[in-house]
Amino acid sequence: MKTKKLSLKRLAQAGIAAGAISYSGLVMAADTIKVGVLHSLSGTMAISESTLKDTVLMMIEKQNEKGGVMGKKLEPVVVDPASDWPLFAEKARQLITQDKVDVIFGCWTSVSRKSVLPVVEELNGLLFYPVQYEGEESSKNVFYTGAAPNQQAIPAVDYLLDDLGIERFVLAGTDYVYPRTTNKILEAYLQSKGIAEDDIMINYTPFGHSDWQSIVSRIKEFGGEGKKTAVVSTINGDANVPFYKELSNQGMDASDIPVIAFSVGEQELSGINTGPLVGHLAAWNYFQSVYTPENNQFIEQWHDYIGDDDRVTNDPMEATYIGFNMWVKAVEKAKSTDTDKVAKAMIGVETPNLTGGTAVMNKNHHLSKPVLIGEIQDNGQFAVVSQTDGVVPGDAWSDYLPDSKNLIADWTDPVNCGNYNTKTKTCGGQTAQ
């Protein structure tokens, strides 16, 4: 079996350059359930997304070893949108209309998800999105298994305020929708906590940004004016490597100006000398270092599947794991892969978190999850320094934005709406049919 699995992986890698490949179909019967995998395997986001492709393939393999779903084998269809946001939409359309997939696991950046969203809504496809994001969205065709802002950004800032006594904030992000919207929420939240506008510095850089010298110098200067300062980072992709290197070059360690990141986990740190970064922070719903029987089993399965005991796990992998297991349960509950039936069956589905407790899919298509703050260690792992007491339900719409505070998402009767205004009693967009 080991030889065949490696052979199939090589065939998949060879086929990705051509655009797509349904490689388990080489050895399976035609009557399968097709699973689309829509993650960047090249370009600036490959550092993060390629691992999620492998995670989906591992979950498919494990499920097939159990007999598949409804007696059918799962057949992966892998495409490479290559960190090109319009290409995400094209590949999603291809997966649904040509490859006839029943579900898609994919996207990392919000701009890629926003590109795919109108496609899955038009074609009534089903997308599982496994990464923390800015909120302000709920679609009947999307299940959000990563963190909403109230499950990551807000608790992270609370930790900086309450535990570290931070008085000045640098909001540093990649220039696209997730950092801009998250920082808009955080700016309003910080001001509601009494932080003055002059004590908030906001900076954006393009994807793949590499020259951080002047920006880090400005951050250092901003933090050297007598008030305790921290950086809240929504920098995405491979730009994180030179960013952290420049922090080290300029002697900026966590005791001076701590950085708390929302898009840096074990995978991103595996390419960095983490010695100088010890003490900097990240906020996620999962860390590899958390000891539970479920997490130990997942790590062991991952190492066995990938053939490398040094490969790390991370939060979006857990979100993929949770979403995949929930989808399997919903399909079996609905006795169908029909999008509308599966979406209805998803509400209330539960599955174990890897860090303890239970993930629940709520009416707004967001999960209830624990929130953890981790401190970078010299081995590239995180030591948990703060954790919520139990799980936090994901909020699709922020209480801190004027246009959102009266909105809720509820995909059950009688509301059946992703942006329902509780004051006007009206639905502002897509409704369930």
| 270 burial level (CB within 10 Å; 0-12, 13-18, 19+) | middle
Cα separation of 407 and 109, whole Å? 24
Tell which residue, 428, 368, 432, 342, has the closest CA to residue 136.
428
Preceding omega of 414 cis (within 30 degrees of 0): yes
Distances (CA, A) of 305 to 71, 210, 292, 308, 319: 23, 33, 20, 8, 18
**Sheet with 392-393, side-by-side order of all strands:** 350-352, 358-361, 367-369, 392-393
Cα separation of 154 and 377, whole Å? 23
Cα separation of 433 and 430, whole Å? 9
Residue 433: CB partners within 8 Å, gap ≥ 6?
Answer: 340
CA angle 89, 267, 216 (to 5 degrees): 90
Tell which residue, 269, 231, 182, 240, has the closest CA to residue 45.
240
pLDDT at 273: 82
What string of pLDDT tens digits covers the 433 residues of the chain? Answer: 333 344 344 434 444 444 444 444 444 445 999 999 999 999 989 988 999 999 999 999 999 999 999 999 999 999 999 999 999 999 999 999 999 999 999 999 999 999 999 999 999 999 999 999 999 999 999 999 999 999 999 999 999 999 999 999 999 999 999 999 999 999 999 999 999 999 999 999 999 999 999 999 999 999 999 999 999 999 988 888 899 889 989 999 899 999 999 988 998 888 778 888 899 999 999 999 999 999 999 999 999 999 999 999 999 999 999 999 999 999 999 999 999 999 999 999 999 999 988 999 999 999 999 999 999 999 999 999 999 998 999 999 999 999 999 999 999 999 999 999 999 999 987 655 4
- Alpha helices (H) along 124-263: 153-162, 177-192, 213-222, 240-249
pLDDT at 237: 83
Hey, CA dihedral for 170, 176, 179, 180, is it positive or negative? positive
| Cβ pair 77, 20 in contact under 8 A | yes
Residue 343: CB partners within 8 Å, gap ≥ 6?
Answer: 126, 140, 141, 143, 330, 411
Q: Where are the domains of the chain?
A: 2-147+291-371, 150-289+373-393
Task: Give, to the nearest 10 degrees, the angle between helix 213-222 and helix 240-249.
Answer: 60
Domains 2-147+291-371 and 150-289+373-393 share a fold: yes
pLDDT at 380: 93
pLDDT at 30: 53
Choosing among 2.30.29.30, 3.90.1150.10, 1.10.3720.10, 3.40.50.2300, the CATH entry for 150-289+373-393 is 3.40.50.2300
The structure tokens listed for 350 are: 């539960």
Query: 2-147+291-371 — its CATH code?
Result: 3.40.50.2300
Locate tokens 């209480």: which residue? 399
Tell which residue, 372, 347, 216, 218, has the closest CA to residue 291.
372
Residue 341: CB partners within 8 Å, gap ≥ 6?
Answer: 334
Q: What is the pTM of this model?
A: 0.89
| 138 burial level (CB within 10 Å; 0-12, 13-18, 19+) | buried
Hey, CA dihedral for 65, 66, 71, 76, is it positive or negative? negative
Q: Which amino acid is at 172?
A: A
pLDDT at 432: 52
